[in-house]
Structure 1
Amino acid sequence: MSKRIIKKVAVIGSGIMGSGIACHFANIGIEVLLLDIVPKNLNDIEKAKGLTIADGTVRNRLVNDSLQKALKSKPSPIYHEKFANQITTGNLEDDIAKVNEVDWIIEVVVERLDIKKQVFENLEKHRKPGTLITSNTSGIPIKFMSDGRSDDFKKHFCGTHFFNPARYLKLFEIIPGPETSQEVLEFLNNYGEQFLGKTSVVAKDTPAFIGNRIGIFGIQSLFHQVKELGLTIEEVDKLTGPVIGRPKSATFRTVDVVGLDTLVHVANGIYENCPDDEAHELFKLPGFINTMMENKWLGSKTGQGFYKKVKDDNGKSEILSLDLDTLEYRSNKKAKFATLELTKPVEKVIDRFKILISGKDKAGAFYRKNFAAMFAYVSNRIPEISDELYKIDDAMKAGFGWEHGPFQIWDAIGVKKGIDIMKSEGLEPASWVNDMLASGNLSFYSVQNGATHYYDISSKSQTKKPDQDAFIILDNIRKSNEVFKNSGAVIEDLGDGIINCEFQSKMNTIGGDVLAGLNKAIDIAEKDFDGLIVGNQGANFSVGANIGMIFMMAVEQEYEELNGAIKYFQDTMMRMRYSAIPTISAPHGLSLGGACELSMHADKVVAAAETYIGLVEFGVGVIPGGAGSKEMALRASDSFRKGDVELNVLQEYFLTIGMAKVATSAYEAFDLGLLQKGKDVVVVNKDRQIATAKAHARIMADAGYTQPIKRKDVKVLGKQALGMFLVGTDSMEAANYISEHDQKIANKLAYVMAGGDLSEPTLVSEQYLLDLEREAFLSLCTERKTLERIQHMLKTGKPLRN
């Protein structure tokens, strides 16, 4: 069979979902044709211009308006604004014949079977044989949609359910139709993982498939429990948020964002189409939901839902909460539970579940009831919605942002303990769970030879989870492959001569122990290995330097110790740059301040596409002091070209620091000079990041890596640059764009990046700039307003402008 390559896709339907899918294909370099219907009527602007329906701008108005709305939305559906150029728009009357040029057609029209079938009938007139054709339906049975279509259509047709927003949520459900070929399923499964950066899950053609079937059950279960347990919506959101590894929006805020009408649509579909579901009545909407639907309290889209944002007489915003008893809005009530206090010292979410179900208060009762219901439900969905339990966990993690799936949580509590709490709630697990225990398998998952295994019901044994060979899962190898460990870092042998240094501090902050671990990793790699990766698989790469440590030293006026600590940071970054082995940084998520500096000093960066990276030190009243200010001056110098106005080039790098710019994707980081074109690379699937970094390290080592020589040729512009910067900051302060203290920080940065007040452009060493940087950093740490900024950040997590 010939190799299938996707060069161009057509997306049919440009609503929120369709435009989002189009943007994500553009993100990965695919040409996209986005089509929608022709408007039936002219709008007022078109009438005023004397246009007619025959006019091209009118005929494409719906699709163009939808795409522009998507591109302007926050968070953005696209990695970089230039990627939007890969999307061509059109309409289903004038441009439908163009689908014969594409490799994959994705239907994303309204959720009505009659309309979908009509669209497919029209598409088949123009689709060339062999073209993939899929539906993004969230619940309509796939088997009904292909009725009446050709054999070739049916063979290449299935469901491909993206979750909204398509860029950020990783779940990609693939739902085969009755005649979908195995080749198509295998291709889509691999394409979703490798190119779209998704977690691909092949689901059965059952109502709501896997993710929404379980997710909507969980939400409906909470809707019924909230009154039964006398909980407020704030309390439920507190109990179902980050403490159990769920998004900050938890339950009710998430429903507001998604839209209550969307949830009700799916819940009604399950209620109507799953009459034999043992929890059938749970999908019946409680009275308060029906009232909210009647009142059009649908959430963010209508301005109010479970929460409502209002302004008081002074113009100050306040978030009100809905009282589910009175259905009136009231001021927020802070939620607090003794059980949750017990989990505060426990950093790993997976270790909290045993504590939570043992709680003696209302929270403990909530968790026992909630987990009992979920465990019973997911066990009974096998084999109905999936034959393999891991698919349910994968779907919940990728589609709903859960850190751990229900079977993983059950394992953490203990399978037998989970059954006990089920029985206490009058529930029973599916019979296969008891069979599993009887066969000697006491958990749903195990790790064997560095690979995740799951309990396979048909063979009654632990079976290797498929498609792991492209991944390196640090949790699976950490204990068996540990080379070194301290309180801040652990070093693992990845095999093939490459080691990894993984931060283990809170939020992966970079303090003394982390730096010691990094230095130890370089020592070990230089002695016994061929390359070093600095990477982890936490929620974020690192939020930067440990500012709490800096604050304590500065408050105690321990300036000599602080100078030593900053020099240690700088020296460690320079070791990353000038070691005898290739070093690779693998940032993802938040990669701020010191974490950005670390990445800038690696030989290569293998960044996840979803990397939010920047030098944000201005927010705490200092300049980048871990070699970041030096590095930006060096990169500006390396960017100078014959004929450039060098001051303008330097100014761009200065502003990246001075405005604390943070790239909202790895691709934007190239524009800011934080990543370098031709050297650094981007990986769309974060799960493949460590494996990809390892491959690059191996290539660099095999190519004959040569230890770099420290630079002494950095061109700095001296007084001419310093004068320009000082005039600029003075003007900005005079116009009240920046505060007096902002000006002071900016002037310190200007002095470093200009290379001091040298009388003319001069070539200097990196060490010269590092010394200027450290001196400026230390002087700012003596400022009261800087200490206020650091303290405010430590207390609130937000910057203070004083």
Structure 2
Amino acid sequence: MKRTIKKAAVLGSGIMGSRIACHFANIGVEVVLLDIVPRDLSDKEKENPAARNKLVNDALQTAIKSNPSPLYDKSKARLIETGNFDDDLSKIKDVDWIIEVVVENLEIKKSLFDKVEKERKPGTLITSNTSGIPIHLMLEGRSEDFQKHFCGTHFFNPPRYLRLLEIIPTKKTDPEIVDFFMKYGDLYLGKETVLCKDTPAFIANRIGVYGMMSTMHVVDELGLTVNEVDKLTGPVIGHAKSATFRTSDVVGLDTLVNVSNNLYAALEKDESREIFKLPRVVQKLSDEKWLGDKTGQGFYKKVKKDGKSEILELNLKTFEYEEKSKAKFDVMDKTKNIEDVRGRLPILLKDDGKAGEFFRKTFYDLFKYCSNRIPEIADELYRIDQAVAAGFAWELGPFESWDVLGVEETASKMKEAGMEPASWVQEMLDGGNKSFYKFENGKKHYYDIPSKSYKVIPGTEGLIFLDAFKESNVVWEKPGATIYDIGDGVLNLEFHTKMNSVDADVIEGINTAITMAENDYRGLVIGNEGQNFSAGANLAMLFMYAVDQEFDEIDLMVRTFQNTMTKARFSSVPVVAATSGLVLGGGCELSLHCDAIQAHAESYVGLVEVGVGLIPGGGGTKELTLRAADEYTPGDPELNTLQEYFMNIATAKVATSAAEARKMNILRGGDEITLNRNRLLTDAKEKVLALADAGYTQPVPRENIKVQGKSALAMFHAGISGMKYGSYISEHDQKIGQKLAWIMAGGDLSAPTKVSEQYLLDLEREAFLSLCGEPKTLERIQSILFKGKPLRN
């Protein structure tokens, strides 16, 4: 049976329900969002539909206004219709999928399902988003059709940003329904869909909460501070910035306590059950009701001091709040310039200080626990990695991390430390299998325990993994960039500088890749599997030249960058940028000059050079001026269109999604959006081949870009002066704005005139060079380089 989801119903509008509704709206699905009628209504209010829907409407508005936003584009909120269970439950007759997201109470859920059964159309999908209640318990008293179409679909909060969707079927769920959810979550919701067993907390929370509780026990043992632990358990090991204690404060300590207590009660046969017992520190905070952000204090507390906000941390010995401790570990200095977490982990675990001891205790314990959970919570090890990495925003899952450290060597050290892994790990090693994963024939394989052999991870057969090409398909390589042959006549250029910033290696890589593609291939993808496409140009070399007033060198740098962007624009084969994460400054300029952009939905795109006292000098200003000119139609107020583009650059506006980038005309008609990050490079390659197969024609430099001259300059200068007099911008901002205006107006031409791309590039380069000589620009660059903070001077 072919299924499509045109309309969904979300029952429950709390933090999860309202945001799940928003994510369905993100992909264009109509949503009916329902909740209870407020209990405290007056007799008059009970007759008022607005009052009866107050709870659900307030919840939705809170979600829409929250930051970060649950919507790719605020206009998508129009797809969400609100109502209440008493008056509007009949509307579920018209939906294709009903998702229950009410309070975590089995009896309340079963009571709601009683009502749903009376209104639900047979064959309609129905799922629960519970994170802790066994799925099979919800089937008691349900019809056969309900049971057949029911399972758990556990989204993680926030649903837009955390990629995990756990699918938990019961024994009565139709296998066809399970297959549908696995594919729909992947292709349409952009999720890492993981098939789970109906075991306590399923996979991600079972492992993730264990990891947090294990860490807290070790903290008690080693006497580490709150800030030290968050320094050790954040980005340095490929985990989220919120690390351990900040995550607890954000989520709420009560949630962690409830899950841990429930797991302790349910897992009588778990060999590591005692870890779920609350550590002394957690018990104390729970008793004091210091639950984190929701109570104003937890492991951290925000206070006002001298009119400024300050974050204090909890002293875990005295339970007093103090200034943040200095988190200084020598091993962190050794790894700070290693961009790939795979390069950092071996160094961190070999450290002979307290940090190394902490890493060994926590990693070895987690590895042991995960190995013992097979086949209890998952039959295959890759499911544990997928769930934990996607659910907790880890770059690597536990078994992937173990692979990086060396399975055999690490297993030996675990035994020495009294944390022996499950017996199947040694059996794997004895059989000559030295890793949990390997790449063969461009595909990612995992070690299958029952068959004692490697199998392709289901669902990934057609996906591109750059690791699969690193041994035999590298055609060019420098420290900052690599070119791979990814098959079918397509090359892929990967950056691996810090935050994928554009430096000399990257520039050489772009030029080399395009030349190679023009000579022997059908096209080129520029993309990677990291968190960011590119955070912009490497400012360090520019700063050095600017301080020394080496303007000839700066001129050469800018010309080279502009020429490289021009080469990307006018190549004889299609060039596609596969963007995700940060796409800023020079990274944005590169994507603007490619034939097409294949953007992950979470692409944060913008020309941000004004923030460091510059203007986009690699063709970005030229390109948006060109696009503004192309938007002009007879009778339109042309200056209004130009002004909008000007403001996007002058305010360093960054699109907070690919959908918003489309509204800013950074993404255009032929550009496409990929929802699942795992599919981005695959989709970009297909885009290259589609362009090539359609009879790709090399573009021709434009000579007909209409600029407005003095009329635009007058408008820009009036607006800039008004902002300066209103104290919205500084004097230096005013100067930058005037130089940007000069370029986008095309100079002080007496009348609208058609100019060439090169004309605008020359204006761009001249403005960029002049700003490099400004002391206030150097101060802004210095602040970014040495303090990591923007400066408004």
Q: TM-score range by the shorter chain?
A: over 0.9
How far did residue 731 of structure 1 move? 2.1
How far did residue 504 of structure 1 move? 2.1
Does structure 1 residue 135 correspond to structure 2 residue 128?
yes
Amino acid corresponding to residue 740 of structure 1 in structure 2: E
The answer for the alignment partner of 2:657 in structure 1 is: 665
The answer for the alignment partner of 1:72 in structure 2 is: 65
| Distance in structure 2 (CA, Å) of the matches to 1:288 and 1:562 | 55
Q: Given the alignment, which residue of 285, 310, 316 partners 2:308?
A: 316
Q: Assess if the C-alpha contact under 8 Å between 1:470 and 1:688 holds in 2.
A: no
Moved more, 282-291 or 601-610: 282-291
| Distance in structure 2 (CA, Å) of the matches to 1:148 and 1:480 | 58
Per-residue CA deviation, residues 428-473 of structure 1 (Å, 9 max, x unaligned), is 2111111111211111111111111111110011111111134211
| Distance in structure 1 (CA, Å) of the matches to 2:652 and 2:664 | 11
Amino acid corresponding to residue 37 of structure 1 in structure 2: I
Q: Assess if the C-alpha contact under 8 Å between 1:41 and 1:53 holds in 2.
A: no
| Distance in structure 2 (CA, Å) of the matches to 1:153 and 1:83 | 31
| Distance in structure 1 (CA, Å) of the matches to 2:434 and 2:508 | 40
The answer for the alignment partner of 1:679 in structure 2 is: 670
The answer for the alignment partner of 2:97 in structure 1 is: 104
| Distance in structure 2 (CA, Å) of the matches to 1:416 and 1:488 | 31
How far did residue 330 of structure 1 move? 0.8
Q: Assess if the C-alpha contact under 8 Å between 1:532 and 1:581 holds in 2.
A: yes
Tell me, what secondary structure is at the counterpart of 1:310? strand
| Distance in structure 2 (CA, Å) of the matches to 1:79 and 1:246 | 24
Aligned positions of 1:483-502 closer than 5 A? 483-502=475-494
How far did residue 547 of structure 1 move? 1.2
Instruction: State how many pairs are aligned.
Output: 793
| Distance in structure 2 (CA, Å) of the matches to 1:432 and 1:176 | 27
Per-residue CA deviation, residues 25-52 of structure 1 (Å, 9 max, x unaligned), is 111111111111111112xxxx6xx842
| Distance in structure 2 (CA, Å) of the matches to 1:376 and 1:586 | 37
The answer for the alignment partner of 1:20 in structure 2 is: 19
Aligned positions of 1:741-760 closer than 5 A? 741-760=732-751
Q: Given the alignment, which residue of 440, 447, 456 partners 2:448?
A: 456
The answer for the alignment partner of 1:262 in structure 2 is: 255
The answer for the alignment partner of 2:30 in structure 1 is: 31
Aligned positions of 1:181-200 closer than 5 A? 181-200=174-193
Aligned positions of 1:92-491 closer than 5 A? 92-312=85-305, 314-491=306-483
| Distance in structure 2 (CA, Å) of the matches to 1:81 and 1:347 | 34
Tell me, what secondary structure is at the counterpart of 1:453? strand
Moved more, 339-348 or 242-251: 339-348
| Distance in structure 2 (CA, Å) of the matches to 1:558 and 1:101 | 68
The answer for the alignment partner of 2:8 in structure 1 is: 9
| Distance in structure 2 (CA, Å) of the matches to 1:347 and 1:664 | 24
The answer for the alignment partner of 1:789 in structure 2 is: 780
Per-residue CA deviation, residues 730-776 of structure 1 (Å, 9 max, x unaligned), is 22212221111110000000000000000110000010110011001
Q: Given the alignment, which residue of 729, 741, 747 partners 1:738?
A: 729
Amino acid corresponding to residue 284 of structure 1 in structure 2: K
| Distance in structure 1 (CA, Å) of the matches to 2:583 and 2:126 | 39
Q: Given the alignment, which residue of 553, 556, 568 partners 2:560?
A: 568
Tell me, what secondary structure is at the counterpart of 1:611? strand
Per-residue CA deviation, residues 364-390 of structure 1 (Å, 9 max, x unaligned), is 111111112111111111110001011
The answer for the alignment partner of 2:716 in structure 1 is: 725
| Distance in structure 1 (CA, Å) of the matches to 2:764 and 2:336 | 37
Q: Given the alignment, which residue of 61, 65, 68 partners 2:54?
A: 61
Q: Assess if the C-alpha contact under 8 Å between 1:593 and 1:616 holds in 2.
A: yes
How far did residue 353 of structure 1 move? 2.1
| Distance in structure 1 (CA, Å) of the matches to 2:426 and 2:527 | 40
Tell me, what secondary structure is at the counterpart of 2:486? strand
| Distance in structure 1 (CA, Å) of the matches to 2:278 and 2:46 | 43
Amino acid corresponding to residue 568 of structure 1 in structure 2: T
How far did residue 290 of structure 1 move? 2.5
Tell me, what secondary structure is at the counterpart of 1:590? strand
How far did residue 641 of structure 1 move? 1.2
The answer for the alignment partner of 2:768 in structure 1 is: 777
Tell me, what secondary structure is at the counterpart of 1:292? helix
Aligned positions of 1:472-551 closer than 5 A? 472-551=464-543
Tell me, what secondary structure is at the counterpart of 2:327? coil
Q: Assess if the C-alpha contact under 8 Å between 1:368 and 1:421 holds in 2.
A: no
Q: Assess if the C-alpha contact under 8 Å between 2:565 and 2:618 holds in 1.
A: yes
| Distance in structure 1 (CA, Å) of the matches to 2:618 and 2:332 | 37
Does structure 1 residue 799 correspond to structure 2 residue 790?
yes
Q: Assess if the C-alpha contact under 8 Å between 1:306 and 1:322 holds in 2.
A: yes
Tell me, what secondary structure is at the counterpart of 1:149? coil
Per-residue CA deviation, residues 248-275 of structure 1 (Å, 9 max, x unaligned), is 1110001111111111111111111111
Moved more, 434-443 or 590-599: 434-443
Amino acid corresponding to residue 783 of structure 1 in structure 2: E
Amino acid corresponding to residue 772 of structure 2 in structure 1: C
| Distance in structure 2 (CA, Å) of the matches to 1:202 and 1:85 | 32
Query: TM-score, normalization: structure 1?
Result: 0.98
| Distance in structure 2 (CA, Å) of the matches to 1:484 and 1:361 | 39
Per-residue CA deviation, residues 493-526 of structure 1 (Å, 9 max, x unaligned), is 1211221111122211112221111111111111
Does structure 1 residue 652 correspond to structure 2 residue 644?
yes
| Distance in structure 2 (CA, Å) of the matches to 1:321 and 1:487 | 40
The answer for the alignment partner of 1:592 in structure 2 is: 584
Instruction: Report the CA distance shift for 1:470/1:100 in structure 2 as closer, same or farther (over 3 A).
Output: farther
* Structure 1: tracts of 5 or more residues without a match: none
| Distance in structure 2 (CA, Å) of the matches to 1:486 and 1:376 | 38
Does structure 1 residue 40 correspond to structure 2 residue 33?
no
Tell me, what secondary structure is at the counterpart of 2:303? strand
Q: Assess if the C-alpha contact under 8 Å between 2:31 and 2:79 holds in 1.
A: yes
| Distance in structure 1 (CA, Å) of the matches to 2:82 and 2:152 | 23
Amino acid corresponding to residue 270 of structure 1 in structure 2: L
| Distance in structure 2 (CA, Å) of the matches to 1:671 and 1:6 | 26
| Distance in structure 2 (CA, Å) of the matches to 1:792 and 1:340 | 22
Tell me, what secondary structure is at the counterpart of 2:87? coil
Amino acid corresponding to residue 476 of structure 1 in structure 2: A
Q: Assess if the C-alpha contact under 8 Å between 2:17 and 2:101 holds in 1.
A: yes
| Distance in structure 1 (CA, Å) of the matches to 2:415 and 2:379 | 25
- The alignment yields a C-alpha RMSD, in angstroms, of 1.2
Amino acid corresponding to residue 12 of structure 2 in structure 1: G
Q: Assess if the C-alpha contact under 8 Å between 1:12 and 1:36 holds in 2.
A: yes
| Distance in structure 1 (CA, Å) of the matches to 2:495 and 2:282 | 45
Q: Assess if the C-alpha contact under 8 Å between 1:653 and 1:673 holds in 2.
A: no
How far did residue 358 of structure 1 move? 1.6
| Distance in structure 1 (CA, Å) of the matches to 2:45 and 2:242 | 45
| Distance in structure 2 (CA, Å) of the matches to 1:213 and 1:271 | 11
Does structure 1 residue 690 correspond to structure 2 residue 690?
no
Q: Assess if the C-alpha contact under 8 Å between 1:375 and 1:418 holds in 2.
A: no
Per-residue CA deviation, residues 599-633 of structure 1 (Å, 9 max, x unaligned), is 11111111110000000000000100000111111
Q: Assess if the C-alpha contact under 8 Å between 1:683 and 1:689 holds in 2.
A: yes
The answer for the alignment partner of 2:620 in structure 1 is: 628
